[in-house]
Each structure stands twice: as structure tokens, then as C-alpha cells.
Structure 1
């Protein structure tokens, strides 16, 4: 369904023209042809896949198709592995509406929403060249802005390398899980660490709780570093506790276990790894637009992993 060469940003260079027979019937709103689909959403949007809308928001909605989760939304929610983005008209949709894919078109509530044959494909950008010195340079540069207003709310302060004395109640509650995460990353795991790590899952408010975002960021950073065995070991210890959180957050955690997350998170991780300090403020600004605190919480988990990586050398 999706073809074409990828450019440096992970999008297809060429788009197929939309065949005349694919246009919506007279009297029905036309489907959006200028859309972007994440690499995991692509696998869910197969012809004859069917399901329903399960959660509605102002700029997006979540749907399941044959049991697989996708997030359909406006371009400003940002690229990601589960996302289908376009300038959609969502105001008339509701939870429970039937969703299905037919003739390379996503139909919702009986109307065509997205033309999939012309979709561009999003995949994370390639991990840049990096070294221990470039990583240390990037971590040093991130410390100054990370001690400012970025640490207000959520678990962002956990990414600073040490938990501040005046930590919030949420950060205090996360301490056992954060200590367990550090031990698991170092390879010195105790039996009690598995349950302590599990205390992070579902911890905090929001659609994707802060503890889930932090673990997801750690998984994605481990994949970026090439530490797939450690990533899989961490994920294996999370699986037994996964039912502590909601289904939407589970879907994002499963994507993180494969090494995939929000485009802004990948960009921030790569910026720190490559030591491109001039791009750091832009990368952090983009993270603040991901959820209420989700982008910063996820990056805190990534920073925990990246700091640990410098100790291995």
C-alpha cells in the first residue's frame, strides 16, 4: 500500500497520484489525500481491517483495527510510529464510530477520511555518528536547561542525574522504580527490583502516565545506542506489570519496546548522542509540545540511559 524512496527525514520523496475512482462519492465529504502514516500504523491500515474509534480528543482520536492501535490526528500532534496525520475534519466523529479500511481508504462513521495510497511513510531518522566524547558533550549541554522550568511537573527532574531534595510528590513516589531502573541498566539486578520497576508503570496522571513515558524513553534510547539486549531485558521485566496502565499507554510502550517513539524524542536523543549543542534548545522546545509532560518525561528516561552509557566506556 505504501511505496517510494525515503528522504533524510524518513518520509517518501514521491507520492502516487490519486486515481479518479478513489474519490469520495457525490454528497460525501472528500477524504484527505495529503497524509502521513507511521511505520507501525501502516501495518494496521491494511485493506479489510476493521474496528472502531475508542477515544476522542480535540485534535486526534485513537482507533483499533483488528486489535491494533492507531492515532489519527492533525499534523501538529507530531509524527510517530502509531500516527496517521492529515488535515482531517474530526468534529463529527465520536467514540464507538466504526472504522474500516477499504480500497486503500480509511473510512470512519461511514465516510472516507484518509486516502492511504498517497500516504507518505514516517520512520525514525537514522542514528547519527556518535562517540563517547560527543555523548558527554551533549549531556553536559543539556544539564543547564534541564535544571530550569523544564523540570516542573511530571518526572523530568529524574533525567538530571540526581533527584533534587525538594522533589515533587510524584518524583518521590517514583524513587523506588528509578533506583530499580538504574540497577537493571547496570546489570546488578535483585529480585525485588522487578516489582519496584513495576511501580513506575501507570504512575502519574494523563493519557500516558509519566512513569510509562519515562520507561518508554529508556527503551528507545537503548535501541538508539544499539543496546538491544539490555532493551529487551528491561522490557521483559516490564511485561509482567503492564496491566497496571491503560490500553493506549500499553500501545505506546509496545512501540517503544521496538525502539520507536515520537519524532521529537528521536531528534532529541540523536542531538545529545552526536553532541550537536547548537540544536539542543530547538530539540527541547519540540519535546514540550508532546503531550502535557510526555515528551519531557520520555526524554528523562532517555537521559538516564545515555548517562549510564558514558560509564560503560
Structure 2
């Protein structure tokens, strides 16, 4: 049974669709439905923009055909009832990010060559960052793209809808894996995995307990993907002006948190 689906793929589950399984991993199976990448995951995996969370991960086989009719997603040897709830992440508004807790931001910075390279490049702008780390590293989501996704998510939250087209164009120009491309594209739209959104809200609110919990969840993602994503968000926040005032902190409440 399908529990929920991220904003990037929820629509696919509500109409007729066809595709194939393209890869199978311990905690996820990636499908290509029509032209969109979908990650089937179990209930112990956090929500994300291309995640379809199921009560149990089905026994997918690479290359097998998959089809959906708007209420059921199935292959030859398994079927999932859906379409499930729609999940999307929210981000703090610019004023809330300006009133962030810098000590909590620093806790997300970890040592590493890619992160050091990203920090140097980011001082010259997001375009320089893309050139320096885009597509850099092995794996489903190279480390450079994880860092870039974190920076882009913060840029989208801080800049609002007006920056989305620019960020999407930058991310579309990165030569990388299909999985990384999908997550970069959705970061440009303000969507990432759930603990990334939780961490941004906690840092903006100065909530140390919530920030620590979100960071632990981030660090548990992949071999190093979550660590690099968190570091990217920290680098992105470090580029933003900071305002320390009760007025700004008070204005960062639910009324200014926008859905993206």
C-alpha cells in the first residue's frame, strides 16, 4: 500500500502511467514512469520530492514493466494500492532565515575536500559553485551535487519564487546522474527530503533539540549524502545577511512560513 508521495511524483499516481524499474537498492527501487524518476521506498525512509513511500518495499526487478491506473501501481509480481497522501516540504521565509541561530548552522559543517572546494567557490556566486562541484564524486548522488542541492534549497527559500527559474537553469546544466538531476531540480523548486526542511525550520527558530534531531536524520542518509546536503545548507545560510532582533524572530512565525 502507498502511504504518501512527494510533490514531484504524486500526480503520476493519480492518472494512467507506464514505465520500468531502472535500478534496485537496499532501501529504494527507482522507476521511470513516463519521463519522470520515481523512488519507491519503505516506511522507514523519510519523505522526499520523488519518494513514493510504501508500507513495504515491493520485490522490484530491474527492467520489469510497471503500470498504474490512478489507483494502483503494479508489475508482474507485485502491486501497490494508492495513490496515498501528497507530501511536500515547507521552508522558513527570508526573515526567519535572517534570524537563524549561527551556532546551529556551524554544527552542520563537516570536514571534506568537496565541502572545502564548495566554500571557496560559493564566495564567487552560485554559478562558480556549479562549475566547481557539480557532478563531482561517485554514487547515485555525487557529493558535489548533494552540497549544491543544499545551497540551492536555501537560495530558493531566501529568494522566493523569483529566483526559481535561474536556479532551475543552473541545476539543469549540471552533468550528473539521473537521480542527482531529479533531486537538484526539486531543490530549485524548494523541495528536498523531510529532515532538510525540519533542520531549516529548527535553525531559523533557534530550536537546538529539533535541529539536532533533524541533523541526525540527515547524517543517516546514504553513505555521506545527508552530511553533504546538510553542509550545503549551512554554506548557503552563511552567505545570507543575518539580522538578530526580537522583531525579526517574532516575524518568523507560521505566518511567514510559506509553502513552496
Q: What band does the TM-score fall into relative to the shorter chain?
A: 0.7 to 0.9
Q: Determine the C-alpha separation between the residues in 2 that align with 1:50 and 1:133.
A: 44
Q: Which residue of 2 aligns with 1:218?
A: 151
- Aligned with residue 116 of structure 1, among 60, 72, 82: 82
Q: Determine the C-alpha separation between the residues in 2 that align with 1:104 and 1:275.
A: 42
Q: Compute the displacement of 1:130 (Å).
A: 5.0
Gaps of 5+ in 2: 245-260
Of Structure 1 and Structure 2, the greater strand share is in 2
Q: What SS is found at the alignment partner of 2:22?
A: strand
Q: What SS is found at the alignment partner of 1:77?
A: coil
- Aligned with residue 74 of structure 1, among 14, 31, 42: 42
Q: Which residue of 1 aligns with 2:23?
A: 55
RMSD after superposition: 2.6
Q: TM-score, normalised by structure 2?
A: 0.83
Higher relative contact order (CA 8 A, sep 6+): 2
Q: Determine the C-alpha separation between the residues in 2 that align with 1:132 and 1:78.
A: 23
Q: Determine the C-alpha separation between the residues in 1 that align with 2:230 and 2:50.
A: 19
Q: Which residue of 2 aligns with 1:296?
A: 227
Q: Compute the displacement of 1:110 (Å).
A: 5.2
Q: Which residue of 2 aligns with 1:28?
A: none
- Aligned with residue 102 of structure 1, among 53, 63, 69: 69
Point out the more displaced range, 126-135 or 296-305. 126-135
Q: Determine the C-alpha separation between the residues in 1 that align with 2:202 and 2:186.
A: 21
Q: Quick check: 2:94–2:158 contact (8 Å CA) kept in 1?
A: no
Q: Compute the displacement of 1:205 (Å).
A: 2.3
Deviations 1:190-213 (A, max 9, x none): xxx55x632311112221011111
Q: Quick check: 1:128–1:270 contact (8 Å CA) kept in 2?
A: no
Q: Quick check: 1:59–1:90 contact (8 Å CA) kept in 2?
A: no
Q: Determine the C-alpha separation between the residues in 2 that align with 1:269 and 1:211.
A: 20
Matched length: 244
Distance 1:270 1:49, change over 3 A: same
Distance 1:120 1:230, change over 3 A: closer
Deviations 1:30-60 (A, max 9, x none): xx2x511111111222422100000101221
Q: Compute the displacement of 1:120 (Å).
A: 1.7
